[in-house]
Amino acid sequence: MKTLNDFDFKNKKAIIRVDFNVPLDENFNVTDATRIEAAKPTIDAILAQGGSVILMSHLGRPKGVEEKYSLKHILKTTSEVLAVPVQFASDCIGEEANSAAANLKAGEVLLLENLRFHKEEEAGDVAFAKELASLGDIYVNDAFGTAHRAHASTTIIAQFFPTEKCFGLLLAKEIDSLNKVLKNSEKPVTAVLGGSKVSSKITVIENILDKVDHMIIGGGMTFTFVKALGGKIGDSICEDDKQELALEILRLAKEKGVQIHIPVDVVAADDFSNTANTKIVDVNEIPDGWQGLDAGPKSLANFEKVIMESKTILWNGPLGVFEMESFANGTISLGNYIAASTENGAFSLVGGGDSVAAVKQFGLEDKMSYVSTGGGAMLEMLEGKVLPGIAAILD
């Protein structure tokens, strides 16, 4: 696996695919610079060696050129994070981009305009990728969030750098962290899968059953399993057409010696609202008109025991509707157990939009071994897929 360490960047121009798809407010100010900060170590390392850096990214889902999706809006924040003035080219190909890249001196940084202003980016157009490639000497992919897309800048461009291509520090760390769970894990291994639907996690469950000792199932998925097993779930969310599948997962897990842990009690509410009436009920006895919206105290005590005995922990998905304070306790408690287990020496990997949002919201981010930057990409790796952006560098 080629990384920055395999190259000397002195007097070289590194063209780096970063993921600067950051949120902006109505005045186009960056509201969360995490993704820019995540790319900083790679950029710093290249500049420190006397190289220069050309950054390319997308922002949003523009239909052609749209002012609100211009990367010029993030120029100020990017300069502040990198602590160097960042130049800007108002297109990612063409005369201005070529001229700006050609005149780039050692230690300088150039940000190209939004790749997705050209439909050729998402189409994986070879000619477009070739134009991008002509700007730099070494191609660096540091965008895990888009590594599962075979776009021009994430995958196709790599063919124009047969030997001069590598992973950035962020992408290398993402791959390493996932491999620690999927390939080189210390046992016992526990996967916590939450969220609302079994259907969105089927392939993940099937792929990791061979790699884990325990699987905690929480969130809305719980009720598909409970109903399949004959429990009464009241008005709780449920995928009726996935009940057979839930039973099949339980059967497979038993066959493979994997212990599945499902909540035994829940915080039930008489309305999907933060101000609803609530009560703790047995997961199999949720009354009509009530729905389970968080894991109950007995369930959390069971989960805590499993987490504290684990040496490797994967967390993907919340245990309840944590966006509402009344139903956040399960997710917060789970986060605290994983943090404590991590402090005791376990390796913990958090990934998937909602889990990442939860650890950030509750101040637990620094207490996890690694928090993934790519939701979709991480899920596809957990499903056992080879991501095109990664394959292109390994090729």
Please list, residue by residue across 142-159, b when 16 or more beta carbons sit within 10 angstroms of its beta carbon and e when fewer do: bbbbbbbbbbbbbbbbbe
Q: So what's the pLDDT on residue 225?
A: 96
**201 in a labelled binding site:** yes
Q: Which of 12, 35, 165, 180 is catalytic?
A: 35
Residue 234 known to be catalytic: no
With 80 as the cut, is the pLDDT of residue 296 above it?
Answer: yes
Q: So what's the pLDDT on residue 322?
A: 95
Q: Which of 298, 311, 376, 384 is catalytic?
A: 376
Q: Which two tokens stand for residue 383?
A: 């499903």
**333 in a labelled binding site:** no
**17 in a labelled binding site:** no
Per-residue model confidence as pLDDT tens digits over 260-289 = 999 999 999 999 999 999 999 999 999 999
Q: Which of 40, 197, 311, 360 is catalytic?
A: 197
Distance CA 110, CA 86 (A): 6
Q: So what's the pLDDT on residue 353?
A: 64
The structural architecture, per CATH, of the domain 185-382 is 3-Layer(aba) Sandwich (3.40)
Residue 353 known to be catalytic: yes
Per-residue model confidence as pLDDT tens digits over 228-270 = 999 999 999 999 999 999 999 999 999 999 999 999 999 999 9
Residue 10 known to be catalytic: no
Residue 68 known to be catalytic: no
Per-residue model confidence as pLDDT tens digits over 138-148 = 999 999 989 99
Q: Residue range 372-389: average pLDDT? A: 86
Domain 4-170 and domain 185-382 have a common topology: yes
**311 in a labelled binding site:** no
Q: So what's the pLDDT on residue 380?
A: 87
**Averaged pLDDT of the chain:** 95
Q: Which of 353, 360, 384, 385 is catalytic?
A: 353
Q: So what's the pLDDT on residue 382?
A: 86
**60 in a labelled binding site:** yes
3-state secondary structure the chain: CCEHHHCCCCCCEEEEECCCCCCECCCCCECCCHHHHHHHHHHHHHHHCCCEEEEECCCCCCCCCCHHHCHHHHHHHHHHHHCCCEEEECCCCCHHHHHHHHCCCCCCEEEECCHHHCHHHHHCCHHHHHHHHCCCCEEEECCHHHCCCCCCCCCHHHHHCCCCEEECHHHHHHHHHHHHHHCCCCCCEEEEECCCCCCCCHHHHHHHCCCCCEEEECCCHHHHHHHHCCCEECCCCCCHHHHHHHHHHHHHHHHHCCEEECCCEEEEECCCCCCCCEEEEECCEECCCCEEEEECHHHHHHHHHHHHCCCEEEEECCCCCCCCHHHCHHHHHHHHHHHHHHHCCCEEEECCHHHHHHHHHCCCHHHCCEECCCHHHHHHHHCCCCCHHHHHHHC
From residue 294, give the alpha-carbon distance in Å to each of 53, 189, 270, 298, 323.
Answer: 47, 24, 13, 12, 11
CATH of 4-170, one of 1.10.620.20, 2.60.120.560, 3.40.50.1260, 3.40.47.10: 3.40.50.1260
Per-residue model confidence as pLDDT tens digits over 339-368 = 999 999 999 999 876 888 899 999 999 999
Per-residue model confidence as pLDDT tens digits over 111-136 = 999 999 999 999 999 999 999 999 99
With 80 as the cut, is the pLDDT of residue 374 above it?
Answer: no
Going from N- to C-terminal start, the domains of the chain cover: 4-170, 185-382
**20 in a labelled binding site:** yes
Q: So what's the pLDDT on residue 75?
A: 98
**59 in a labelled binding site:** yes
Q: So what's the pLDDT on residue 259?
A: 98
Per-residue model confidence as pLDDT tens digits over 73-104 = 999 999 999 999 999 999 999 999 999 999 99
**240 in a labelled binding site:** no
With 90 as the cut, is the pLDDT of residue 65 above it?
Answer: yes
Q: So what's the pLDDT on residue 175?
A: 92
**355 in a labelled binding site:** yes
**21 in a labelled binding site:** yes
Per-residue model confidence as pLDDT tens digits over 167-220 = 999 999 999 999 999 898 899 999 999 988 888 888 889 889 999 999 999 999
**230 in a labelled binding site:** no
Record the pTM. Answer: 0.88
